[in-house]
Amino acid sequence: CSKAYAMTGWRIGYCGGPKELVTAMSTIQGQSTSNASSITQRAAVVALNGDQQCVAEMNAQYRKRHDYVVEGLNSLPGISCLAAAGTFYAFADVSGAMQATGCRDDNAFAELLLNEGGVAVVPGSGFGAPGHMRISFACSMETLEKAVDRMARVLRSGAAAKTA
C-alpha cells in the first residue's frame, strides 16, 4: 500500500505467489514485526476498495519525476543512473563524481551533498553497493529541480576545488 496509495511508513501490504514462498515470507514476517494497527488496516481496506483513478494519476506523476531525476543525474559529471521500475527512488553510480571531488567513499559523498548543497541522499554502501547513492523522487517537481541544480553546483565547485 505504501507505493500504490501513498501510505509510506504505514507498513501494510499484501502478497501473492507460490504457497511455499508465501509461507516462508509469513514465517519471517511473523517473527520480525508486530501487527499493523487497526487504523492502518482500515486505511488499507478503504484504499483497496476505493476509486483506483488516484493510482493511475500518481503513477503518471511519479513517471514524470522519475524521468526528470534520471535525466538530471545522467547530466551531472561523474554520475550514471539507469532507469528504475516500480519504485520512487533512483539509484545512481557516483564513483566518477566521488573521484572528481576527492571523496573517499559514498558516505563522504553523501555528506558533501548534504553539507554543501543541502541535498539528502542515502549512500549505496548501506545497500551493498558502494560508490552509489539512492535519491527519492517522492516529492514535488520543484524540490527535485532544486536538488539537481544544487548537486550540479556542488560537483562543479567540488571538482574545481580538487583540481585547484
Q: How far is CA 123 from CA 38, 105, 118, 126, in A?
A: 35, 9, 15, 6
Own/partner contacts of 109-113, CB < 8 Å, gap of 24 or more, are 109/133, 112/154, 112/158, 113/150, 113/151, 113/154
Q: For the chain, give the percent of residues with pLDDT over 70.
A: 95
Q: Is 83 exposed, middle or buried (0-12, 13-18, 19+ CB in 10 A)?
A: exposed
pTM above 0.85, yes or no: no
The DSSP 8-state label assigned to residue 37 in this structure reads P
Q: Cell triple for residue 20?
A: 511455499
**63: closest CA among 141, 151, 146, 135?**
141
- The distance of Cα 85 from the centroid of its chain, to the nearest Å, equals 11
Query: Which mean pLDDT values do the consecutive 10-residue runs of the chain (164 residues) have?
Result: 81 89 86 79 93 91 96 97 91 97 96 96 96 95 98 83 53
Closest alpha carbon to 136 in 43, 15, 8: 8
Q: Characterise 12 by phi-psi region: left (phi > 0), alpha (psi -120 to 50), beta (else).
A: beta
List of long-range contacts for 104-107, beta carbons under 8 Å, 24+ apart? 105/130, 105/131, 106/130, 106/131, 106/132, 106/133
User: Residue 163: what pLDDT?
Assistant: 47
φ, ψ dihedrals at 135, nearest 5°: -135, 135
